[in-house]
Structure 1
Amino acid sequence: MDAKGVAKTAKPMRWPATAGFAAPRRSLSSWLIGAVALAGICGVLRLGSHPPQPCLGPSQLAYYNGDERDSSSPRVTVDGFVASYPVLRDGRQRLDIEVESLELSGERKKVSGRLRIQTGDVYRYRYGESVRVRGELTEPPIFEDFDYRAYLARKHIHSLLLRPRIEPQPGMLRGGFPLELIYDVRSRGEMLLNRLLPEPHASLANGMLLGIEAGIPRELYDKFNLTGTSHVIVISGSNVALVTGVLMALGIRSFGKRGALWPTLGGLAFYALLVGGDAAVMRAALMGSLFAVATVLGRRSTALVSLAAACWLMTLWSPLMLWDVGFQLSSAATAGLILIGPALTGGFSSFLNPLITRLRKWGPSPGSPGAEFLMPSSIGDLLRDALIMSLAANIATFPLIAYYFGRLSLISLLANLLIVPVQPWIMIFGGIALTVGLSGLEQIAQYLLFIPYASLRWTTMVVNWSASFQGASVEVDWFGGSAAALTYAAILGLYWRRPISSSLRRFWRRTIRLCALPHREASTRIGLVLLRKANWTAGIFAAVAGLVWWFALTQPDGQLHVQFLDVGQGDGIFIQTPSGRQVLIDGGDDSQQLYAELGAVMPFWDRRIDYALVTHPDWDHLGGQTDLPERFKIGSAIISENTRGHEDSEIWLSALGAANVPVEGLQRGGWLDLGDGVALWALWPPPEEELKSFDEDDKNERSLVLKLIYGDFTALLTG
């Protein structure tokens, strides 16, 4: 018998079923389903009855933990290396240390484990750097409203080191080549965005593009939470879906369908690690990988199966992942888009299409430039998908949000409808700008960042506006675990009672073909619809015209501007002369707050400050300027001549020296010519010999007192 005959008569292979990759039969008995469900419930109850702590022995670091509450934390010295990407917030670095040895009471022991520290050191630590740390070893606390111990346990961290003193050790980096390279790219990308964008947009871009959210001002982050829009500032499935689609498209074009698999999988792994590799990102990356494999093998990819497989693999690797709030919210939102989204489509289509048809008579005639944007097939899809994404995700996640955070946003649907359509532009053009900027073409990267900056600015405007409504959110502290479980039971009951009609299945298949992704987060699809249907000539013309007008409107207006910045404690004053020279005097104690204020008064492409002045070296005056040279090009720095050598100013002076910024001293009788008839005169301090009656360490008595003069206008700046 020929090969064809053998193929026809051969028995079907059983290994996929045996390996668990395919069902061995068409239907499962109710007994088997019940047994699996019972086993799962028993496993959850058993794990929930025990704290998430390992079985500790003398070879584990956490075995030596003390308790800060009863002053039993031992003083120890540990040797190890930095095992995480250093996170900077409010001037403090957060580091996770992989410990290899511990010294306790003069005795050194070999141990293993991770600990977390926070330090105010100016020195920027690197991933893989060897360190020796002294401090108090303690168990992570459990707060009244947050189980910090369980949170760290899910990251395999069971110890904290309080009041640390860190000594960098000589030697090569020890973190491993792939992550060292990836984190180096991440660090360079973070600094690039900080240089090219103003605050708070730079921090938002870092969160959306690189997964670094630490720099986002707390007040703004709270507004995102209040309006239910915080999902846009974290890396989620929509970001990974877009990366998957781009990698597959480029791979197929360059290497063919089969040759595209490994570049796509490698690119997804690189991206997932680049943005931090948290639970939500890894879940989305696994789904993207399964889609890529299915595409190359010519198999049908089902979004719900991909989601289940990704969740199963992640919890198999780390069962505690089930208790990660981000993992739960991400999985629930994706399930909502898969299950609830199609059920909502028909209702929105029947409502929006007649409305848009009525509005077409006020638009351009068919065939004219821009007419395609007013067709129901484009506007209807755009509005429908924005509404569906917001509503489906809200329905799927609001029980978890109410349970964990005790608050429910009432304006989330409107806010998401307004900001979701612009998010793909941040991802697409921001990613291109990052790639170009990291290649050394920063000037071109700044031009490319115009579209992401405009999108970020629109996003913050909408969030600030929607958060200003009284009653934008309500407290639901009464919403407990039972209420959440009952709510999900009701949602699933409604879903299964109303199966998807054939027309909705056709629409869903069309959506999958259009976006070339398995489940297709709707936010990314919105951007692709715009990309496919845009009139590029009109779009480029509009973008260039907008850039020209924006540039023109932000040019100096021939007047003197004095801005008193809201930097919290301390002072912050920004001066712009009629011809555009810029002077910063002091900066408060929080650099992120200072950058947010500067971002509100300076154009996003303007990264130059002609003079940076510090009136005296108290932290609430110079603290905000300590890393100013990393963000701005500074022409010259000015300090009181009488405090120039003070030890408190060394941090600021060393940062300026590293950036080759000249530093000048100023005292009574000195002045700065700012051009256009604008001058800054120093009224105080006098020469040091005239201050002998004052305490030689009194910085306030030696503070710069300045007089700003412009024609008949004068202002006294007392420092």
Structure 2
Amino acid sequence: MALLYGSLAYMAGILIGRAVFDWLGVRCPLPEWLWLVPLGLLPLGLFLHRCHRARSAVAMRWPTSAGFEPPGPSATPGMILMLALCAVAGALRYAGHPFTPCWTPADLAYYNLPADRAFERNAPQVTLLGFVDSYPLVADVKQRLVIHVDTLEVDGMQHAVTGRVRLNTGIRERYRYGQPVRVTGRLATPPDFDSFSFREYLARKGVHSVLYGAVIEMVEAPPQGNPLLAALYAVRARGERFLNRALPEPYAALANGMLLGIESGIPDELYDQFNATGSSHVIVISGSNVALIAGVILALMARIVGGRRAIWFTVAGIAGYALLVGGDAAVMRAGVMGSLAVVATGMNRRSTALVSLGAACALMTLLNPLALWDVGLQLSSAATAGLILVAPDLIAAFRRALSALHLNTLTRGPVGSFFEESLMVTLAANLTTMPLVVYYFGRLSVVSLLTNLLILPAQPPIMLAGSAGAVAGIMGLEPVGRLILMLPWLCLAWTVHIVQWTASLPGASLEIAGYHTTALVATYLALVVVKTQAPWRTLFERIRRWSIAEWGRRLVNPTAATGLAMTTALVWTAVASLPDGRLHLWFLDVGQGDGIFIQTPSGRQILIDGGSSPERLFSELGAAMPFWDRTLDLLVLTHPDSDHMVAQTEAPTRYQINF
């Protein structure tokens, strides 16, 4: 456990370092290598620790059978010294890499305008030369890029600089990672808002500048950047294009978020509904999500190759999946957290996994100390800690409850066991992450547990079958991929329906004011007390008195019932979408502009105009057309105004156009 304590001390030192750095008003960071000095003194603390243990060792036995409890390890001066050195190392690590470094003329951010001057009429323009240094994210009519800049031109003079800048541009031209570009616009410092620091958010990603009014010109030059990342992003782009063509909206956007980590295309209204119901973790690649799916893979591989060997097959699968979807920081973090949960489950060693979790968090903050303030890292860590520490106790308590109710038959078989563990895993993750959600977002979802329990059974098919379908599409087997995606589509439709229903309930989300750091710490202390005291036995004794007859034996087999329900839903969906010999007319809610969808009596489909928002057009078409129908027979444009044609120009990227 010494590694866990050292990791916690190091991360506490980062927090202390920032507080001292800001309190002293230090303007420039310390040398980045300075944190290595206290780490180099750790062997001295280890030597003192061993010397003290050797002197204080006594040959005494503590027979537990007689009721004795052996004394726990006591803190030695050497251990205290090592923890202090780890804390000092953390403080120096932040001091060498703060949120706001001291800029020099060789840094791009040196030429930033203040955030409040970026939109002045006389704000100067700069020209930047570099390459696209991120995976391009498309959200409706905007494209988000990060540019790695090598040269800056301002006032007719060129400067060799180093830095990264974030910008938004249109979707008429599509860019790729590593593409050389020349960009002109107003360079500024990212702004700080009342409840959110956009500047610190970008600083955690190594970006200290934003560019407004960007005009991009592609440069004829060899591709730059990391060749491995370029190859990974190319595979990711193929997967994104296939999902966009194979699924209607908003299910394509949700599938991209859940399978590929591209959540930029999810409509804002739907994203808000997921946030209001406390289920937004399922639409992004998170540690708890990966751990849940990895648990299914672990169970399957355990039957094929055995328990211990299955662990490494599962971890290898997680690593391959993380690389497949692009290998960015959020995905790699989710992969690490999910792997830790798998190792803990497979080896039945919660203490080992907990130490590994602490070491992994320390490693991430060692590479980038600003990651400690990353909400995603905090939520993933809390969820993984819940899976390691809380989930096993909840599973055992659930089994005792079923036993008290004489419903033991519900836990038999792979399906019953899967649902049992999945429900308890979800509850554990919710318990450990809810305080952080309330602290950062100021809202408490009353329907969070209900929503997660209802949508949880649909998530493994989305992830497993969806990943298989995406791989088939990437490999060029699009008909096979479309067939496989029928099951994920049904599960996505169920998820969206449940989220929208629970979000519409009165009081589904409550605004919580005054939930500050003290309340956050108190909440987690209460969770620790509840876990250590285990007050559930009294509750289960009461439930035992209310036990009912063993009616569970008469239930329909869960596997057959689930398969029959899904097959029936797909069949009736197909039947309901067949042409009925009538003319159907939809006036689409596309915002500004017009959009009309016509289905003729024979089933031919015509789209007239489409508005100015591709996101809204595709969502409306997804609601009007069958999910497997990705063909439009005719596109009609009444006149070439932007509020009629912009969205329609993107239709060929999602649908096959016959005329």
Alignment partner of 1:147 out of 166, 172, 197: 197
Counterpart code for 1:473: S
Q: Which residue of 1 aligns with 2:35?
A: none
Q: How far off is 1:252 after superposition? A: 12
Number of paired residues? 574
Q: How far off is 1:33 after superposition? A: 6.1
Deviations 1:622-663 (A, max 9, x none): 222121001011122xxxxxxxxxxxxxxxxxxxxxxxxxxx
> Is 1:343 aligned to 2:396, yes or no?
no
* Structure 2 contact 387–428 (Cα < 8 Å) conserved: yes
Deviations 1:359-414 (A, max 9, x none): x9xxxxxxxxxxx8x56666764554344233322221122111111100000000
Q: Which residue of 1 aligns with 2:364?
A: 314
CA distance in 2, matches of 1:631, 1:567: 17
* Structure 1 contact 406–477 (Cα < 8 Å) conserved: yes
Q: Equivalences for 1:376-387 in 2 at 5 Å?
A: 381-382=417-418, 384-387=420-423
CA distance in 1, matches of 2:46, 2:642: 61
CA distance in 1, matches of 2:413, 2:474: 39
Q: SS of 1:425's equivalent?
A: helix
Counterpart code for 1:62: A
Alignment partner of 1:125 out of 147, 170, 175: 175
CA distance in 1, matches of 2:135, 2:604: 38
CA distance in 1, matches of 2:300, 2:610: 47
Pair 177,439 (structure 1): closer, same or farther in 2 beyond 3 Å: same
Q: How far off is 1:617 after superposition? A: 1.9
> Is 1:29 aligned to 2:75, yes or no?
yes
* Structure 1 contact 419–462 (Cα < 8 Å) conserved: yes
Q: How far off is 1:281 after superposition? A: 3.1
Counterpart code for 1:304: L
Pair 386,185 (structure 1): closer, same or farther in 2 beyond 3 Å: same
> Is 1:390 aligned to 2:426, yes or no?
yes
Percent of residue pairs identical: 50
Q: SS of 1:626's equivalent?
A: helix
Q: How far off is 1:490 after superposition? A: 2.0
> Is 1:61 aligned to 2:108, yes or no?
yes
Pair 45,497 (structure 1): closer, same or farther in 2 beyond 3 Å: farther
Q: Which residue of 1 aligns with 2:584?
A: 561
Q: How far off is 1:284 after superposition? A: 3.6
Q: Equivalences for 1:427-576 in 2 at 5 Å?
A: 427-498=463-534, 546-576=569-599
Q: SS of 1:173's equivalent?
A: coil
CA distance in 1, matches of 2:590, 2:212: 29
Q: Which residue of 1 aligns with 2:321?
A: 271
Q: Which residue of 2 aligns with 1:611?
A: 634
* Structure 1 contact 574–583 (Cα < 8 Å) conserved: yes
Q: Which residue of 1 aligns with 2:548?
A: none
Deviations 1:475-526 (A, max 9, x none): 012111121122112222332334999xx9xxxxxxxxxxxxxxxxxxxxxx
State which drifts further: 418-427 or 170-179.
Answer: 170-179
CA distance in 2, matches of 1:122, 1:272: 30
Q: Which residue of 2 aligns with 1:683?
A: none
Q: SS of 1:469's equivalent?
A: coil
Q: Which residue of 2 aligns with 1:693?
A: none
Q: How far off is 1:349 after superposition? A: 2.6
* Structure 2 contact 344–353 (Cα < 8 Å) conserved: no
Q: SS of 2:646's equivalent?
A: helix
Pair 259,500 (structure 1): closer, same or farther in 2 beyond 3 Å: closer
> Is 1:114 aligned to 2:160, yes or no?
no
CA distance in 1, matches of 2:323, 2:462: 20
Gapped regions of structure 1 (runs ≥ 5): 1-16, 361-371, 505-532, 637-719
> Is 1:578 aligned to 2:614, yes or no?
no
Gapped regions of structure 2 (runs ≥ 5): 1-41, 54-71, 541-556
> Is 1:620 aligned to 2:656, yes or no?
no
Alignment partner of 2:152 out of 70, 83, 102: 102
CA distance in 2, matches of 1:497, 1:154: 39
Q: How far off is 1:348 after superposition? A: 2.6
> Is 1:597 aligned to 2:620, yes or no?
yes
CA distance in 1, matches of 2:227, 2:302: 25
* Structure 1 contact 609–635 (Cα < 8 Å) conserved: yes
Q: How far off is 1:282 after superposition? A: 2.3
CA distance in 1, matches of 2:255, 2:310: 33
- Normalising by the residue count of structure 1, what TM-score does the alignment of the two structures yield? 0.72
CA distance in 1, matches of 2:315, 2:568: 40
Q: SS of 1:627's equivalent?
A: helix
Counterpart code for 2:381: S
* Structure 2 contact 129–150 (Cα < 8 Å) conserved: yes
Q: Which residue of 2 aligns with 1:285?
A: 335
* Structure 1 contact 343–500 (Cα < 8 Å) conserved: no
Q: SS of 1:302's equivalent?
A: helix
Q: Which residue of 1 aligns with 2:248?
A: 198
Alignment partner of 2:235 out of 174, 178, 185: 185
Pair 36,615 (structure 1): closer, same or farther in 2 beyond 3 Å: farther
Counterpart code for 2:388: I
> Greater RCO between the two (CA within 8 Å, min separation 6)?
2
Q: Equivalences for 1:138-287 in 2 at 5 Å?
A: 138-241=188-291, 242=293, 246=297, 268-277=318-327, 279-287=329-337
Q: Higher helix share goes to which structure? A: 2
Deviations 1:521-560 (A, max 9, x none): xxxxxxxxxxxx9868x87777656544432222112211
Q: SS of 1:117's equivalent?
A: strand
* Structure 1 contact 251–264 (Cα < 8 Å) conserved: no
Q: How far off is 1:440 after superposition? A: 1.6
Pair 322,566 (structure 1): closer, same or farther in 2 beyond 3 Å: same
CA distance in 2, matches of 1:345, 1:249: 19
Pair 570,60 (structure 1): closer, same or farther in 2 beyond 3 Å: same
Q: Which residue of 2 aligns with 1:80?
A: 130
Q: Which residue of 1 aligns with 2:352?
A: 302
Counterpart code for 2:287: G
* Structure 1 contact 195–632 (Cα < 8 Å) conserved: yes
- Normalising by the residue count of structure 2, what TM-score does the alignment of the two structures yield? 0.78
Deviations 1:189-210 (A, max 9, x none): 1010010100000000000100
Q: Which residue of 2 aligns with 1:409?
A: 445
Counterpart code for 1:124: R
* Structure 1 contact 208–233 (Cα < 8 Å) conserved: yes
CA distance in 1, matches of 2:416, 2:617: 42
Counterpart code for 2:114: D
Q: How far off is 1:121 after superposition? A: 4.5
Counterpart code for 1:343: D
Q: How far off is 1:466 after superposition? A: 0.4
